[in-house]
């Protein structure tokens, strides 16, 4: 009877986990300016998203594939980029004495890592190392919608759900339990352009920024794709006209 009870309890746990995982899979779709073949990034939104990353996300999450100079692509001037980079200290060297040293970051430097190494990241976050965000949108299925849903999916767990120690309920995270505390809240940042920093607005802005970070060449790729399609359409018309001309006297 003991073995049967254990098996029954395990079956219930598996069923509950499956139900929570199924719920997590239901990601609401959002309208993004960068969606579709003609989609483009909103530069003002990208700058707001960088503000969110800088003031909220960068405390735990790195962005190793982006350099400060890349921020000129979203509308920051060279002087603004130099000022942003100079706010951080990076390790350089060795110097003439063979020692590493700290210096203010330059535009050519990649974004500074929040932790010296993965072990330090784990130690500061209850054993869970925060992932690098450079390719997060591309690394997750339905990336932009998923990350937005995750940021806005925190809440109270179902009454029948037992939460593990140190875990927080998020209805859009597989299994329903996540180690990351809610990073976004009302007024968590102050936007320079006066946009009201609601939870939904902040989440949308940082997701748009992460989408650009994951694929900064997206707009150029889409423009090239449109040009190629137009070229092929014209070429098809020309080839059809030539075919008609060549075979005009053949009956």
Is residue 162 domain-shared with residue 126, that is, in the same domain?
yes
Q: How many residues does the chain have?
A: 251
User: Is residue 26 in some structural domain?
Assistant: no
Q: How confident is the model over 201-212, as pLDDT tens digits?
A: 999 999 999 999
Domain that holds residue 166: 31-66+110-216
Is residue 139 domain-shared with residue 212, that is, in the same domain?
yes
Is residue 251 domain-shared with residue 203, that is, in the same domain?
no
Q: How confident is the model over 71-124, as pLDDT tens digits?
A: 999 999 999 999 999 999 988 888 888 888 899 999 999 999 999 889 999 888
Is residue 123 domain-shared with residue 245, that is, in the same domain?
no
Is residue 50 domain-shared with residue 119, that is, in the same domain?
yes
- What CATH number is attached to the domain comprising 190? 1.10.760.10
- A 10 A CB-CB count for 62 gives 20
User: Is residue 8 in some structural domain?
Assistant: no
Q: How confident is the model over 130-187, as pLDDT tens digits?
A: 999 999 999 998 999 999 999 999 999 998 889 888 889 999 998 899 988 899 989 9
Give yes or no for residue 16 having a pLDDT over 60: no
Query: What's the pTM?
Result: 0.83
Is residue 191 domain-shared with residue 248, that is, in the same domain?
no
251 band by pLDDT with thresholds 50, 70 and 90: low
Q: What is the pLDDT, as a whole number, of residue 145? A: 96
Q: How confident is the model over 35-73, as pLDDT tens digits?
A: 999 999 999 999 999 999 999 999 999 999 999 999 999
d(CA 20, CA 158): 10
Is residue 38 domain-shared with residue 149, that is, in the same domain?
yes
Q: What is the pLDDT, as a whole number, of residue 56? A: 95
| Residue found by looking up tokens 């329903």 in the block | 176
Is residue 208 domain-shared with residue 250, that is, in the same domain?
no
Structure tokens at 111: 């974004």
Is residue 248 domain-shared with residue 143, that is, in the same domain?
no
CB 24, CB 142: distance < 8 Å? no
Give yes or no for residue 9 having a pLDDT over 70: no
Q: How many domains does the chain have?
A: 2
């Amino acid at each position: 009877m003991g073995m049967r009870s254990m098996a029954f309890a395990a079956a219930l746990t598996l069923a509950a986990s499956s139900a929570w995982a199924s719920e997590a899979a239901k990601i609401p779709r959002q309208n993004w300016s960068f969606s579709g073949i003609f989609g483009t990034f909103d530069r003002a939104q990208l700058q707001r998203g960088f503000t969110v990353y800088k003031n909220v996300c960068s405390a735990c999450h790195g962005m190793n594939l982006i350099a400060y100079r890349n921020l000129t692509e979203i509308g920051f001037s060279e002087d603004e980029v130099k000022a942003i980079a100079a706010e951080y200290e990076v390790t350089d060297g060795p110097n003439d004495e063979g020692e590493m040293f700290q210096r203010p970051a330059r535009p050519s430097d990649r974004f500074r890592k929040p932790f010296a190494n993965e072990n330090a990241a784990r130690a500061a976050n209850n054993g869970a190392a925060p992932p690098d965000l450079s390719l997060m949108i591309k690394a997750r299925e339905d990336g932009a919608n998923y990350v937005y849903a995750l940021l806005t999916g925190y809440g109270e767990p179902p009454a029948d759900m037992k939460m593990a120690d140190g875990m927080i309920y998020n209805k859009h995270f597989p299994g329903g339990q996540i180690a990351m505390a809610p990073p976004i809240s009302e007024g968590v940042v102050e936007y320079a352009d006066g946009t009201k920093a609601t939870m939904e607005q902040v989440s949308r802005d940082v997701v748009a920024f992460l989408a650009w970070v994951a694929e900064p060449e997206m707009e150029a790729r889409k423009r090239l794709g449109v040009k190629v399609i137009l070229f092929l359409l014209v070429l098809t018309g020309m080839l059809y006209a030539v075919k008609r001309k060549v075979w005009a006297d053949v009956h």
